[in-house]
């Protein structure tokens, strides 16, 4: 899972070449709006799910799209008991982001599926397989003018990753930034997760910030 950089919507030159002779502005000071693509990528199946938002990418947004994905696709994975979520350790989905941890714990209990959060350390996001799909998207729509949100969605839906076109959705909900729990409330969340702080690895003896297990069978603490 990962977000791409925000994309400015307007008659702007994005680089690349076009055969239709379309004219574009050579600056992008006043875009109509901006959208952020957020992707869920299944490497073994080469399937990509893209969610676009004009709102901020917050903890609630991330868990909401994960839930949308799981509700629509879980029938294909009835034997899966644990979801392994590989992510960058960003500010909105960090294991120390209280609202994200609250929502992801609620997700595990609600859908009765175990969660393992596996974070890439700083400067290692290039190893996240979803990063390569962003390059394909950029190459696909470069040379074209993304003058409307619908245009960006259309180009995203027609790109291909190893022969497969992505599922593309626009999220209309507006999200509030800065939502967080009190220390007391977060203490209750910590009781429902397991940070891998007792690793015996010679180089990485403490992985508590990078690997977190959430077991849905544990009794939910209120």
Put simply, whether the predicted model's pTM sits higher than 0.75 gets the answer yes
Strands 33-42 and 7-9: antiparallel
CATH architecture assignment, domain 2-214: 2-Layer Sandwich (3.30)
pLDDT of 75 reads 95
In sequence order, what E strands does the chain have?
2-3, 7-9, 33-42, 47-53, 82-88, 114-120, 167-171, 194-195, 211-214
Q: Are 166 and 159 in contact (CB under 8 A)?
A: yes
Euclidean distance between CA atoms 164 and 133, whole angstroms? 11
pLDDT value for 196: 81
Among 129, 112, 105, smallest CA distance to 194 is for 105
What pLDDT sits at residue 204? 62
The pLDDT score that the predictor gives to residue 130 is 94
pLDDT at 221: 39
Mean pLDDT by 10-residue block, N- to C-terminus, for the chain (222 residues)?
A: 94 65 62 96 96 97 98 95 92 94 97 94 84 94 91 96 97 95 96 81 69 75 37
What residue ranges do the domains of the chain occupy? 2-214
CB count in 10 Å sphere of residue 109:
16
Give the pLDDT confidence score for residue 205 in this predicted structure: 67
Residue 27: per-residue pLDDT: 60
């Amino acid at each position: 899972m990962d977000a791409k950089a925000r994309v400015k919507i307007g008659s702007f030159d994005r680089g690349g070449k076009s055969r239709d002779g379309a004219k574009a502005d050579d600056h992008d000071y006043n875009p109509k709006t901006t959208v952020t693509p957020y992707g869920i990528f299944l490497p073994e199946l080469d399937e990509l799910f893209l969610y676009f938002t004009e709102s901020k990418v917050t903890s609630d947004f991330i868990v909401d799209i994960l839930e949308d994905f799981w509700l629509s696709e879980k029938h294909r994975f009835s034997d899966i008991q644990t979801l392994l979520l590989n992510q960058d350790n960003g500010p909105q989905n960090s294991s120390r982001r209280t609202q994200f941890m609250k929502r992801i714990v609620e997700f595990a209990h609600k859908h009765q599926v175990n969660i393992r959060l596996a974070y890439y350390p700083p400067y290692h996001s290039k190893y996240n397989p979803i990063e390569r799909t962003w390059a394909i998207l950029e190459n696909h729509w470069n040379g074209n003018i993304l003058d409307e949100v619908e245009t960006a969605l259309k180009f995203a839906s027609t790109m291909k990753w190893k022969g497969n076109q992505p599922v593309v959705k626009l999220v209309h909900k507006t999200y509030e930034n800065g939502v967080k729990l009190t220390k007391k409330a977060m203490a209750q969340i910590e009781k429902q997760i397991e940070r891998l702080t007792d690793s015996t690895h010679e180089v990485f003896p403490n992985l508590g910030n990078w690997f977190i297990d959430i077991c849905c069978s544990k009794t939910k603490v209120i």
